[in-house]
A and B are shown apart, each in its own frame.
Chain A
């Protein structure tokens, strides 16, 4: 009875949230739309990173690699051959997925875990960054630019902020449903089992290597899709930004803050992170402090406090609170 009540109120909350998300652009406030797009990008990255780390417990610090590669490939094909990014997305998904899956497969086979896995992913990311900067591919260090066009076209992802808002909204919704699906699917159960105890999972017959490879395949493929769309939103790509460690870190912080595993944690983490960043900016503007670095220091301190006080993230606490009141 209580569970059923909780379910109904949860559905009502979800439907009303979805409705609010759909009508926000009609407020016609550029700042709000811009802010929400930022929130959605963070959420989408968080959701895709969460699929590998939240389920399997292997923390990749190199997810910017897949986002960067996705963005670069689609932007290059669009500027050189006028290929629609939507046409490229399946191939980019497969390519980046295979790359990530391959790395995860190798490391699972060779028992490269935890710190070593993290470092391996960083090594791949840094290698790609140096190659893209020094190798003069796709514009080298001077960057790759996607030309603007006067007419909106959904097929070529040349949209106004209004259009991008809905593209990102669809993406986040899709990712949420997929994560929810994996959570309930056999794959999610085996991934969570191997996260808790890899030897025990192996002995009850779970193919741990295959599970990790598949999860990483989905995770890196999804990251590359977000990379494609945000590259077309920003219209420019630079190797030192597209493949930066900072970008990877930003993807990681949101789901960890929100809570790993369930998709709702990543969504909440995305909202918190973006709001935090914006409010620090606003605060610094008020006290009129222009020296660089203070924002990051405050950011770091808040992060430190949060992670030490609630190491499991925000979502489990909200869930507990909600269950007692509905």
Chain B
């Protein structure tokens, strides 16, 4: 059963503002989020801060897949993260800076009438 999506959370942009298989940064209540449009026009959103460098750059990484799971690679030191769960799939032997969590926080992203809406999740990342 598919319920009609209700627009909750925050609208960040139109889907058309995003390039397929690339990310963009968004500011949501002062928090920086990396939003990705995949090839099937679904959207994923994770934290913009790269845990391994502390810089706000995740949206600029290369999008890809590992065993079918959509991923983004940090443009800084190339760790790979799942775009579905935010989990760091490969630390490449590095440690996150300042004892941070190696995984990225995840937002629920939905496309409603051509607009991209974000909602924080509390789910396990």
Same complex for A and B? Answer no
